[in-house]
Amino acid sequence: MKGWIKQMKYALLFVLWCLAVMSPAMAHDYHVSITDVSYNARTQRLEVAMKVFTDDLEEALSRRTKTKVHYSSSSEQVKRYLEAYVQANLAFALQKGKPLKTVFLGSEEEADVVWLYVEIPLPGASLSQLYVRNGVLTELFTDQMNIVSLTYKGKTTSVLLQTGDTEKKLSL
């Protein structure tokens, strides 16, 4: 009996070791982006920070450009790809169907994610509602979830956007 328990321990340790070694090579099991939108009263701008997995973003850019893309914040070509991708997949509007002008600021990598930064001028605007369209990575994954949170005058509201349901209204 003791020999069998010892074999099971070794088998379990081997399985755990295999999982640990293979985990970094395996794709993550969930597909989600997080977008934080904050109103800066001093600059009268919406400040947008979006967090996406690096490998997913590289795949989206590669498919879009029909060339293999590796993320690099210093590459001017990658910056152009990122800006075009964000412009095509992320939009905000005060009135439905009238998207606001977005300004792509840049990106930075942190571990296995990339942060994308956008600003939206809102001079003199009052936010009682904000329409958001976030189709980021929905062309790749049927289970893609994009969480958008808006903070305005100390109040925060959030919405979940998914493949096939990429536009919603945030009300404050």
Structure tokens at 156: 């925060």
- 41: in domain: yes
The answer to whether the beta carbons of residues 146 and 131 sit under 8 Å apart is no
- Across the range 14-19, mean pLDDT stands at 43
Residue 82 buriedness (CB in 10 A; 0-12 / 13-18 / 19+): buried
Domain that holds residue 110: 28-171
- 10: in domain: no
- 115: in domain: yes
Number of structural domains the chain divides into = 1
Give the model confidence (pLDDT) of 47-91 as tens digits.
Answer: 999 999 999 999 999 999 999 999 998 999 999 999 999 999 999
- 64: in domain: yes
- 144: in domain: yes
Question: Considering the entire predicted model, what is its pTM?
Answer: 0.81
- 164: in domain: yes
Structure tokens at 119: 């600003």
